[in-house]
Amino acid sequence: MPKLDLSLNPASRADDPAADTGRNDDTHEVAADLAYMRTAIVNVVFFGRPGSPWTLVDTGIPGSAGAIRAVADKRFAGQPPQAIILTHGHFDHVGSARDLLKHWNVPVYIHEFERPYVDGTSAYQPPDPGVGGGMMASLSELYPRGPIDLGASLHTLPADGTVPGMPGWQWLPTPGHSPGHASLWRPEDKALIVADAFCTTAQESAYAVALQKPEIHGPPKYFTQNWDQARNSVRSLAALEPELAVPGHGRAMKGLDMRRALHLLADNFDAIAVPDHGVYVENPIHVEDGSAYRAT
């Protein structure tokens, strides 16, 4: 098989660096009502026009609450969000949720299969540092895997697919990386918030994470525990023909080249995304009701 070109055209990045600098709110704006910021290794997303009601998607790694609140104060004139949407419960997406809730009395929504990891019930199954790819993977045994407890603020995403605090958006089940992983989709402008369903950087490599050179990759290998589901999720997202994709890891990308790369990933998922070996390659975790994912 010929070597696959995973690179994304830098001109396809979704934000405008000059406009971002002029706005001075420390975000990358990718639509009039959609922006993201990077907290160390992962992105958090802000939905809402500046100065208007807004919603936060994911909360970054532990210790990010102050930076998130500072951006929110600049962009939304100090208003708390209407809600916090969690795409899944891994530490780099929920790490600052408890600290934010000390300041914001707002509801938090997550897929029902992810609730055990954020209601204090259960830890995730261990990561797999043997998947290779670089230091981020090698160190994965050290990453927190929960559980945390978000208490009475926690709610389940609505069964009808709507997203609280995000009119016009739908949540889509995109399991594989985790049992209840969800992506967010706005049909009107074909915008996707994909979290970890796929990445635009090689998240296993600390060098790639630091450089942020845009490339198409599957979900972070060290935490992905069902590769068949992950493949199906990527294919379902590619079939939407999105115009904009905001990943949890890497830059937001848009347009024809982004779709080309996404279809490349969907069509060659095993070659691009699946490790040559690994605990969950040989023994994937199958989830019916979420309970199979629960670790003691």
CATH number of the domain residue 147 falls in: 3.60.15.10
Region of poorest pLDDT, from 37-41, 132-136, 174-178, 229-233: 132-136
For residues 166-175, average pLDDT: 98
Higher-confidence position of 148 and 135? 148
Does residue 248 lie in a domain region? yes
Supply the pLDDT for residue 24.
Answer: 85
Does residue 293 lie in a domain region? no
For residues 239-265, average pLDDT: 97
Does residue 287 lie in a domain region? no
pLDDT band of 290, cuts 50, 70, 90: very low
* E strand map for 134-239: 154-156, 170-173, 182-186, 191-195
Does residue 213 lie in a domain region? yes
Higher-confidence position of 140 and 108? 108
Supply the pLDDT for residue 51.
Answer: 94
Supply the pLDDT for residue 266.
Answer: 98
Higher-confidence position of 30 and 205? 30
For residues 227-238, average pLDDT: 97
For residues 213-224, average pLDDT: 93
- pLDDT above 80 (res 184): yes
Does residue 5 lie in a domain region? no
- pLDDT above 60 (res 2): no
For residues 218-233, average pLDDT: 96
What domain count does the chain have? Answer: 1
Supply the pLDDT for residue 212.
Answer: 73
Q: How far is CA 174 from the centre of its chain?
A: 11
Mean pLDDT over all residues of the chain?
A: 92
- pLDDT above 70 (res 238): yes
Residue 68 backbone class (left: φ over 0; alpha: ψ -120 to 50; beta: rest): alpha
Supply the pLDDT for residue 202.
Answer: 78
Supply the pLDDT for residue 205.
Answer: 66
Does residue 3 lie in a domain region? no
pLDDT band of 134, cuts 50, 70, 90: confident
- pLDDT above 70 (res 101): yes
What CA–CA distance (Å, rounded) separates 263 from 238? 6
pLDDT band of 21, cuts 50, 70, 90: very high
Predicted structure pTM score: 0.95
Instruction: Write out the residue range of the structural domain in which residue 141 sits.
Output: 10-282
- pLDDT above 50 (res 293): no
Residues β-bridged to residue 247? 195
Supply the pLDDT for residue 296.
Answer: 32
- pLDDT above 60 (res 208): no
Does residue 294 lie in a domain region? no
What CA–CA distance (Å, rounded) separates 110 from 171? 10
Q: What is the pLDDT of residues 33-57, one digit of tens each?
A: 999 999 989 999 999 999 999 999 9
For residues 230-252, average pLDDT: 97
Higher-confidence position of 201 and 185? 185
Does residue 232 lie in a domain region? yes
What order do you get walking across the sheet with 34-39 strand by strand? 28-31, 34-39, 42-47, 55-57, 84-85, 108-110, 154-156
Task: State residue 49 phi and psi, 5-degree precision.
Answer: -70, 150
For residues 208-224, average pLDDT: 84
